Amino acid sequence: MSPVAIAPAPDEQPPVRAPLTRERVLRAATALADTGGIPALTMRNLAQSLGVEAMSLYHHVANKEALLDGVVEMLVAEVEDEIGGFTVESGVADWMPVMRGRVLAARRVMLRHRWAPTLIETRTNMPAALLRYFDSMLGILIEGGFSNDLAHHAMHAMGSRFLGFDQELFKPNAAGSESPNAAMLVDLAAHLPYLAAMLAEVAHDDPDTTLGWCNDQAEFEFMLDILLEGLERRRARLAS
Amino acid sequence: MSPVAIAPAPDEQPPVRAPLTRERVLRAATALADTGGIPALTMRNLAQSLGVEAMSLYHHVANKEALLDGVVEMLVAEVEDEIGGFTVESGVADWMPVMRGRVLAARRVMLRHRWAPTLIETRTNMPAALLRYFDSMLGILIEGGFSNDLAHHAMHAMGSRFLGFDQELFKPNAAGSESPNAAMLVDLAAHLPYLAAMLAEVAHDDPDTTLGWCNDQAEFEFMLDILLEGLERRRARLAS
DNA sequence: ACCTGAACACCGTTCAAGT
DNA sequence: ACCTGAACACCGTTCAAGT
């Protein structure tokens, strides 16, 4: 097709940059978000990082929403890699450890891309890749003995937890996160008696477990296990 | 203070618009979001709805972030109204129905302001009003027999569920939400076998329970009850 | 077919000026 | 003290033009 076999004449500069492709655009977008977060991911910034004009991007993605959808597809591919494929082994009754392992694998991907949960939440259309992931998670439930009805509830209950993240309300940013000291606690006690008491005790028990510095991984697993156990209890009720 | 008792002279036009106050600004911002969603809430739009120039707003809020923080404060006040105050009755051992009622009350407020969850999630600083709410919820747990340590886990596990919302991944917008018909399901079956089977059955059982039209309230309560029961089970273990 | 420059209609925010 | 107009530095996106 293209004259790729023809050696460039001396006066022809070989193309310094590879031609733009959808894949290159999406990869650069992910890299940009990794370094500067979602705010850094503007069409103009992205173009600059590719050594190109902003308007050139529109030949490979329809618009910014389509770009963000594409980035989510890349993320799901990374989750699939981390899990080792979305295939569902049929007849595996012990669904809980399988699902738990997948959720925590997905979580590792999200921790590599801290901006990803927020991005995923803003999508209004479910990317096809994500549908395939959810289908495989549903498959684990069904093969594990869930009815379609109970599995449906379970899908709702798990929600974003399937992808290894959860709303972390008001996560303190690096700037403002200081562990509470004695003076703060005294001040808190007046208006927030229960929080003050809890922080005083929890912070005392474990220096890494103060308001700004909770163990996110442990807390995520605490909630995950409550959900998984609650689902298993309801599944067992079906069988009896 | 102000010459409020002096009747305006005939040539003095009485002020047509009330003077701008922080409260009026925040109230107008909430109204704007109610009608047009968060995207409609721009400084210029807000000013226009108040019959004023955009720059006048900066005399009452420091910047847009402060404006949004203020809107969240209004929301929490509405939650407090709906609940009937944040006071914690001490010595009420039966914590579960109290907390459940509060969560569902908060949820009613969020359903009146569909944009609110997304807005709350984007706040990086916890508004003081919300801290008071969380303190009262923690109080219910403590008075109900939780240890500080277990209550701490519970706060994390509940997270945004305390406010009556949860991440709803890819909620279909009004435009694209059509319940799956037979043709779609056949097409789905090829690539998404489990989802297709589930939808076929669940949609058959209840016409209001298809992918795009799930019963959000029922699903929220399903998940809420799993969490509450899991927490109660762990609390009971403490006592024994 | 792919990329470009200029332009358009928006943002939040600053600043000097008005009353 | 409160409000204003013009301006600045950004956005995403359209369009006609280049090669």
CATH number at residue A35: 1.10.10.60
Residue B126 lies in a domain: yes
Determine the average pLDDT of the residues in A22-50. 95
More confident residue, A169 or A134: A134
According to the model, what pLDDT value does residue A91 have? 72
Distance B21 CA to D1 C1' (A): 13
**Residue B78: pLDDT band with limits 50, 70, 90:** very high
- Tell me if A129 sits within 8 A of A77, measured CB to CB: yes
Determine the average pLDDT of the residues in A180-209. 71
**Residue B3: pLDDT band with limits 50, 70, 90:** very low
More confident residue, B211 or A229: A229
Domain span at residue A106? 72-165+217-240
> Cα–Cα distance between B194 and A135 in angstroms, integer?
6
Answer whether residue B198 shows pLDDT above 70: yes
Q: Does residue B45 share a domain with residue B112? A: no
* Greatest mean pLDDT among A87-96, B4-13, B132-141: B132-141
Total Cβ atoms within 10 A of residue B65 = 13
Total domains, chain A: 3
Q: Chain A contacts of B167, Cβ < 8 Å?
A: 121, 159-160, 166-167
CA distance A14 to chain B (A): 43
More confident residue, A229 or A208: A229
Percent of chain A whose predicted confidence (pLDDT) is above 70: 80
CB contact, 8 Å: B201 with chain A?
Answer: yes
Which member of B156, B195, B230 has the closest CB to residue A134? B195
Answer whether residue A13 shows pLDDT above 50: no
Q: Does residue B40 share a domain with residue B82? A: no
Distance A120 CA to C6 C1' (A): 35
Q: Does residue B148 share a domain with residue B183? A: no
Whether the CB of A179 is less than 7 Å away from nucleic strand D comes out as: no
Please name the residues between 98 and 127 in chain A that touch chain B, using a CB distance below 8 Å.
118, 120-121, 123-126
Q: Does residue B122 share a domain with residue B93? A: yes
Closest nucleotide to the alpha carbon of B51, via C1' = D3
Residue whose pair of structure tokens reads 């968060």 in the numeric block: B38
CB contact, 8 Å: B169 with chain A?
Answer: yes
CB contact, 8 Å: A139 with chain B?
Answer: yes
According to the model, what pLDDT value does residue A104 have? 96
Closest nucleotide to the alpha carbon of B39, via C1' = C11
Tokens of A238: 């079906």
Whether the CB of A65 is less than 7 Å away from nucleic strand D comes out as: yes
> Cα–Cα distance between A232 and A145 in angstroms, integer?
10
Q: Does residue A221 share a domain with residue A120? A: yes
- Tell me if B21 sits within 8 A of B103, measured CB to CB: no
According to the model, what pLDDT value does residue B88 have? 87
Determine the average pLDDT of the residues in A75-82. 96
Chains A, B: CB pairs < 8 Å = 149
Verify whether the Cβ–Cβ distance B135 to A191 is below 8 Å. Answer: yes
According to the model, what pLDDT value does residue B15 have? 44
Long-range contacts of B81-88 (CB under 8 A, 24+ apart): B82/B106, B82/B108, B82/B109, B86/B132, B86/B133, B86/B135, B86/B136, B87/B136, B88/A194, B88/B136, B88/B139, B88/B140, B88/B143
According to the model, what pLDDT value does residue B102 have? 96
CB contact, 8 Å: A167 with chain B?
Answer: yes
Residue B3 lies in a domain: no
According to the model, what pLDDT value does residue A86 have? 92
CB contact, 8 Å: A89 with chain B?
Answer: no
Residue B223 lies in a domain: yes
Q: Does residue B55 share a domain with residue B130? A: no
Whether the CB of B20 is less than 7 Å away from nucleic strand C comes out as: no
Q: Does residue B77 share a domain with residue B53? A: no
CB contact, 8 Å: B191 with chain A?
Answer: yes
Q: Does residue B239 share a domain with residue B136? A: yes
CB contact, 8 Å: A205 with chain B?
Answer: yes
Residue B11 lies in a domain: no
According to the model, what pLDDT value does residue A14 have? 39
Q: Does residue A233 share a domain with residue A141? A: yes
Percent of chain A whose predicted confidence (pLDDT) is above 90: 58
> Cα–Cα distance between B197 and B185 in angstroms, integer?
8
Distance A212 CA to D19 C1' (A): 57
Answer whether residue A65 shows pLDDT above 50: yes
**Residue A10: pLDDT band with limits 50, 70, 90:** very low
Distance B59 CA to D8 C1' (A): 20
Residue B57 lies in a domain: yes
Q: Does residue A154 share a domain with residue A132? A: yes
Total Cβ atoms within 10 A of residue B9 = 7
Residue B1 lies in a domain: no
More confident residue, A73 or A17: A73
Q: Does residue B224 share a domain with residue B157? A: yes
Answer whether residue B62 shows pLDDT above 50: yes
Answer whether residue A138 shows pLDDT above 60: yes
Residue B172 lies in a domain: no
Residue B106 lies in a domain: yes
Q: Does residue A151 share a domain with residue A56? A: no
CATH number at B99 reads: 1.10.357
Verify whether the Cβ–Cβ distance B157 to A222 is below 8 Å. Answer: yes
According to the model, what pLDDT value does residue A8 have? 39
CA distance A41 to chain B (A): 17
Percent of chain B whose predicted confidence (pLDDT) is above 70: 80
More confident residue, B206 or A201: A201
